[in-house]
Amino acid sequence: MEIRTTSGRGRLYDSVLDTVGNTPCIRINKIAPANVKVYVKFEAFNPAGSVKDRLALNIIESGEREGRLKPGQTVVEATSGNTGIGLAMVCAAKGYPLVVTMADSFSVERRRLMRFLGAKVVLTPRALKGFGMYSKAKELAEANGWFLASQFETSANADIHEATTAREILSDFEGERLDYWITGYGTGGTVSGVSRVLKRDRPDTKIILTEPANAAIVGSGYVNTRNEAHQPTESHPAFEPHPIQGWTPDFIPYVLQEALDNAYYDDLLPVAGADGIAWSRRLAAEEGIFTGISGGSTFAIAMEVAKSAPDGSVMLVMLPDTGERYLSTPLFDGIAEDMTDEERAISMSTPTAQMPSE
């Protein structure tokens, strides 16, 4: 076997922002059932590590294009982490101050990453859930004249997925089967934007949407109230806290409503957080693909769909981010910091550089 070689991308980049998108679709070789072909679109290849880099960039640039975001104006947004990290990257590159509001239940590493990128992070009580941090961001924007990013309402969200994510999928699967596309939702931008294109250009592709089993707010059939600006005015009564960070706030976002109203998805399947954790661990340990609980949860649903899928079916699964966002969450429970007994036995099998006995 010859050594692998690379030849570069054939271009130079003026900014880190020019590297957003064009994430790879990767074949799953060992843990997928033999009767189907499974690919994952691995959004951790975005420069700040998640799918939310796409919407963060377009929210800021659409604000600039339309004159709503002024030079040097502070940007503010409520986020569970990935949008905030993406916005922090974009704002750092473009020179905008950023304030993020985030419930204190989300992983500590997310708030540290945002602060490392120059953002200010205002924590809100976990008891107030996503609606609490959302209300705080809106209040701060109104009180200070800041630019509210409005990821849950803005058309810039789904539009960027129509313009980039969907086109990448069409290009990568040109001339190939694509029987299932599987995704979860946070804001709903990915499913709304990509589905616009798949329903038009790949109508035979079945779109599978998933949400946490204990926070199945879409499956409940109840749509929370919104004001004239399409902002939620209540916490969804079917919501319960769940471990799939970045998925399913305690309201149905207006961006997601497009997919619901237009029946963009063919099936809605709930997933247990424990299953997402289990499949995230398997993707890492058996495929070398390091994704978070949201990616593991989407993949878990793909494995359920595969059980009844016709032989030869081809699936594409969205993996929203990297597992490094989850170091302090249940995803890493049981992962030792010190040597295990097996590791100590390996060390003891040769005489040098041994750690002292505890």
- Exactly one of 41, 52, 129, 138 is catalytic; name it: 52
CA distance 214 to 270: 8
Residue 345: helix, strand or coil by DSSP? helix
CA distance 49 to 321: 6
In angstroms, the first-to-last Cα distance of the chain is 45
Q: What is the DSSP string of 20-81?
A: -S-PPEEE--SSS-TTEEEEEEEGGGSTTSBTHHHHHHHHHHHHHHTT-S-TTPPEEEE-SS
CA distance 190 to 54: 10
Residues in CB range of 188: below 8 A, 6 or more apart: 152, 157, 158, 252, 253, 255, 256, 257, 258, 259
Asked if 294 is an active-site residue, the reply is yes
- Helices (H), ranges, the chain: 52-65, 82-94, 108-116, 129-144, 155-160, 166-172, 189-201, 254-261, 273-282, 293-306, 341-348
CA distance 11 to 31: 36
- Print burial letters for 286-324: b (CB count within 10 Å at least 16), e (below 16): ebebbbbbbbbbbbbbbbbbbeebeeebbbbbbbbbbbe
Asked if 129 is an active-site residue, the reply is no
Distances (CA, A) of 114 to 4, 57, 99, 119: 36, 15, 9, 5
Half-sphere exposure of residue 257: CA atoms within 13 angstroms, side-chain side: 17
- Exactly one of 50, 235, 280, 294 is catalytic; name it: 294
Q: What token pair was written down for 323?
A: 């597992």
Residues with catalytic function:
52, 294
